[in-house]
Amino acid sequence: MLVNEGELVREAMSRDVVLVGPGHTLRQVAATMSKRNVGAAVVADHDSSGIGIITERDILRSIAADENPDVELALDHQTTDVVYATPEWTIGDAALAMMRGGFRHLIVLDGNEVAGMLSVRDVVRTWAKAPV
């Protein structure tokens, strides 16, 4: 059994989520994420399919491909095939979903609303608080 694996996502997630639009440039997204010291942002597209996620890795890949961060848009680099957590998931369930999917962030939805973001850092922080 993992340490504190039964603790709930709502107890560990960050409620202060970075939201960007699909028309934001990668430079704008990177600047916002850097200012807020986070590794991912929710891309909210109210005119289309809903929400996606863009991460520091997405931006890094674009720059490594010699794409211009002042021209490239969040819309073209976001992930839209997103695995969402709910606040009632356990930390253990969230960690397993992250491991299976190979990602480090989960958008937390409460109904259809973004309730928070859970990162691997949040999971580790939660487990590190447990008595050994």
- The domain segmentation of the chain, as residue ranges, is 9-128
Q: Which of 57, 59, 60 is nearest to 74 (CA)?
A: 59
The residue behind tokens 């993992």 is: 2
In the predicted model, what is the mean pLDDT of residues 104-118? Answer: 95
Instruction: Using CB atoms within 10 Å of the CB of residue 130, give its burial: 0 to 12 exposed, 13 to 18 middle, 19+ buried.
Output: exposed
Structure tokens at 28: 């704008």
* Residue 91: per-residue pLDDT: 95
Q: Would you place residue 131 in the very low, low, confident or very high pLDDT band (cuts 50, 70, 90)? A: low
For domain 9-128, the question of CATH label 3.10.580.10 is answered with yes
Q: pLDDT tens across 20-65, in order?
A: 999 999 999 999 999 999 999 999 987 776 799 999 999 999 999 9
Q: pLDDT tens across 1-14, in order?
A: 445 567 999 999 99
